[in-house]
Structure 1
């Protein structure tokens, strides 16, 4: 069930992040005719932060809604879990570091080879890290 004004007039169609002024939800138009819902605040921060969000009095999204957005490329772990996952690949979507694969970092030595734990983003336990990606098992060494 949608609470957004879905009239075609004045519809947002440029790629980017959008939010209706009186609503907290953020949507990403990642390709002309396709948009998704940003999962949570942690995901928006991973994409670059709320400064990238265009706020409109009346949000008019058109096209195909694909559900929750996938995470950008990088290293992530849920705040309630020790496992680290690497998001990678390339989908060729203008300006967005979105890929189609993810893998599990095997151990501390492998994580150090990837740049260390300082590159890992710790995110909300409700985050669906594998959304829109194919799991490849354990990560290969860099």
Structure 2
């Protein structure tokens, strides 16, 4: 991999240190690696900002649809339908009128709630494919900084 090359990168989920690095899930570099390397620190900063946007969006959705505040005791397929339905209803309501509670929530500088529980860090070794994909994202952020 060289800077300036065009890469095809997969869509990925964003996780924190509690998850293992996978080809489909990006997590930050460990502190002992990133604090000495500006490129890795930049990647960690951008990943953290992206994760925060997702958590804030989920927080807005959960404020409107209380079912998202607690674990759902239904099948995975049902959870997918419930979350998609909440998103559709939310967007429909947003299109029909501007929700005052939503605007106030967006104006806050910090998230109102932590939507996700902390997970114990996972130190297992990632696959070479996962490491290569993360490095492609690091390189992309260097070029587009």
TM-score by length of 1: 0.23
Greater RCO structure (CA 8 Å; 6+ sep): 2
**Which structure is larger by alpha-carbon Rg, 1 or 2?**
2
| Higher percent of residues as strand | 1
TM-score scaled by length of structure 2: 0.22
